[in-house]
A = this chain, B = another copy of it.
Amino acid sequence: MKNSRKPDREEANNDGAQSIRRALDILDLLAAAGLDGMRLTEISRTTSLTPSTAHRILNVLVARDVVEQNQITRRYAVGEQIPMLALARPKRSTLLQAAEPYLRQAAENLGDTIYLTVRVGLDALCIARVFGSFPIQVVTIQIGARRPLGVSAAGVAMLASLPEREAHDIIERNKMRFERYNVQAEHVSRTVQAARKKGYFLRQKGLVQGTRALSVSVPSTAQTPLAALTIGAIDRRLTYQREPEVVEFLTSMTKRIRKTLQQRGQRSPTDGTR
């Protein structure tokens, strides 16, 4: 492949774990695809791996039940091994523990649905949802929903809070995946620019007609990843006049979450005895 012309690494280069990294890339992709899964060609295209390489990697993962292949459709999806491995960890992450009371508080106070979303690699993953008291709630996004950063309101808010370079890089790397969600990389870039200036992101048209979403990012800490707090509501409840109030409130919640995390401090969830 490489004509031995100098070390020639593109960007910061590797250790010696190409195949493992590739396997994890595939797993991340599949996680975003959820139960539907993806076909080989699709995986191969999005990861820029040759079909044979992707196939070989998938084979091991399937053999270990880390990935599951539907025998009829040939589609690949995250396998049962993953939830089994997950049992080795306590259910609630540090972030979730710290954030939950504030999610409740926000939902109660604002009356609409509050989502907590975290960055996972190139994706935004919804890890919590709390309903408010207003009788009409936006319930489109499920816990576990995972989409490329830039697609969802939370994704845009998180990108906007990253260094411009990094955000750009992520958008670039997600480019191939955007079409699945009918989004243009170009458009995402512009949206992120705008959100960066304002410090939050308001999506006028949510996934479903007549809904809006407003998202504020929660900076990452030593213990927790970059995250975002999002409010989803029907459009007549997220009006121009109400915008400042909502932003103000959500922002104050992100600050408290951050403070709580700092207090709980250095101990990682696996700091046990021993």
Contact = CB atoms under 8 A, between A and B. Distances in A.
A162 B192 CA distance: 57
Nearest to A76: B270
A191 B117 CA distance: 49
Contacts of A15: 56, 59-60
Contacts of A86: 78, 82-83, 85-86
A36 B70 contact: no
A67 to B, nearest CB: 10
Given A16-B56, A20-B20, A121-B64, A36 B274 contact: yes
A183 interface: no
A84 interface: yes
Interface string A41-63: 00000000000000011011100
A56 B82 CA distance: 22
Contacts of A56: 15-17
Contact of A268 (B30, B68, B118, B146): B68
A164 to B, nearest CB: 23
Interface stretch (A21-29, A204-212, A253-261): A21-29
The oligomer's copy count stands at: 2
A62 B43 CA distance: 24
Contact of A88 (B35, B64, B84): B35
A70 B267 CA distance: 9
A56 B120 CA distance: 22
A125 interface: yes
Contact of A24 (B33, B64, B80, B268): B64
A56 B20 CA distance: 11
Contacts of A90: 35
A242 interface: no
A82 B80 contact: no
A23 B70 CA distance: 24
Contact of A85 (B72, B82, B272): B82
17 contacts: A15-B56, A17-B57, A20-B57, A24-B60, A31-B85, A35-B89, A35-B272, A36-B274, A64-B121, A70-B270, A75-B274, A78-B85, A78-B89, A80-B93, A80-B269, A84-B125, A84-B127
User: Which 10 A-B pairs have CB atoms at the shortest separation, nearest pair first?
Assistant: A87-B144, A86-B86, A17-B60, A31-B88, A78-B88, A77-B270, A83-B86, A36-B274, A20-B23, A35-B272
